[in-house]
Amino acid sequence: MLDELEKRLEEARTGGRPLGLEELETLYTNGCAAVLELEAESLRTQRRLNELRNRLRHIRTAIEFLQEEQAPPTA
């Protein structure tokens, strides 16, 4: 996406092909859509990471409990 945008802007700057308003609006819209997709993916990843952290916390608690159960009694 960024490569395409940079290429078009460079073409417009050098006079190779003018950048019309409609094309500019399309590039902007596509860029905004890409940003929203990245943000959504970031939120999904963060949620998944939090779920995994919670599972790990429960597993650690279970391991500690089992270790205490198997430990010899103290006098």
pTM attached to this predicted model: 0.66
Count of structural domains, the chain? 1
Would 59 be classed as within a structural domain? yes
- CA–CA gap between residue 60 and residue 46 (Å, rounded): 21
Q: Is the pLDDT of residue 32 over 90?
A: yes
Does residue 16 form part of some domain? yes
- Evaluate whether residue 51 is within a structural domain: yes
How many Å apart are CA 5 and CA 30, to the nearest integer? 10
Residue 75 counted as domain residue? no
Token pair recorded at residue 71? 């430990």
Is 33 inside a domain boundary?
A: yes
Confidence of residue 75 (pLDDT cuts 50, 70, 90): low
Whether residue 69 has pLDDT greater than 80: yes
Structural domain boundaries enclosing 8: 2-70
Identify the sign of the CA torsion 22, 25, 31, 34.
Answer: negative
Nearest to 24 by CA among 49, 38, 4: 4
